[in-house]
Amino acid sequence: MNNDVMPVRRNLNFHLPAERISDWHSGSVHISHFLNAMSIFFPVGERFFIDSVRHYRDKVTDPNLQEAVKGFIGQEAMHGREHEEYNDALTAKGLPADRYENIVLKLLNFFRRFTPKGSQLAGTIALEHLTAILAHRILVDKSRMADAEPRYGAIWHWHALEETEHKAVAYDVYGAVMKNGLLAYLRRCFALIMSTTIFFIMLTPFYLGMVAREKGQLFNLKGWWKVTVFLWGPKGVLLRALPDWLDFFRPGFHPWDHDNREFLQEIDDLVTEVESYKAQGAAA
């Protein structure tokens, strides 16, 4: 391992208010549903990541990396569980999250069946890179979630922090078992291109499908403008993440070359905040 950050499994429950599922982000249906569409990928995606890393766990000899793998698996399992509840709220509202998730599952099962385990691990580190750089954009500019419904804001903050905490684990496993030759480099670069392309090809119709089911939102030009600025404006999440995405293609790249561990100091306060939601629920 190339850093001293050790992922820790945290068993948190966010008690998301289901009635806010469509407009939790500053009252914006369009931005809410863009992030909701991302949530659809997480439960089945996290299980794919766990399986990809677990397959090589016995080949890892570094005891620190072995411990990090344990933390990685624990964190991803918790992410999957909480986003299952999140996605259930979408389905309960009449949005086709369950159908969309089944499409993702079928695609991942295809890759499980027809691609080598090394390619599955390469896909995992590619998607871990994508989630880590998007998580960084949420952490570095708190204004993006400042006016969100607090519990939805908290689940995205938690996910961003833990994606940061374990962002190098799968990459280090890949380096340990695939070594750092030309073939390993080309495989991971190809995996990032393919994974990013497939992800956004699937994300876009999921997002549009949910917006179209919200009354009056399909032709809401202000809503489309808000989500465009959120993603591609001067401080846009995708625009600002692009240089970090490209850095993955640099020979010798490592996730902790983007050292943002200072944000991990926010975890204790976040845990306290989430525990207060539990207490509030019990009191109610």
What distance in Å separates the CA atoms of residue 264 and residue 284, rounded to the nearest whole number? Answer: 31
Q: Mean pLDDT, to the nearest integer, of 117-132?
A: 98
Residues 220 and 111 sit within 8 Å (Cβ to Cβ) = no
The CA-based angle 145-149-152, given to 5 degrees, is 75
pLDDT band at 277 (very low <50, low <70, confident <90, very high): confident
- By percentage, how much of the chain surpasses pLDDT 70? 97
Check residue 148 and give left, alpha or beta (phi > 0: left; psi -120 to 50: alpha): beta
Mean pLDDT over 268-282 rounds to: 82
pLDDT of 130 above 60: yes
Look at residue 40 in the predicted model and tell me its pLDDT: 98
Distance CA 227, CA 245 (A): 21
Query: What is the CB neighbour count within 10 angstroms for residue 121?
Result: 25
Reported as a single tens digit per residue, the pLDDT across 165-209 is 999 999 999 999 998 789 999 999 999 999 999 999 999 999 999
Alpha-carbon distance 18 to 16, whole Å?
6
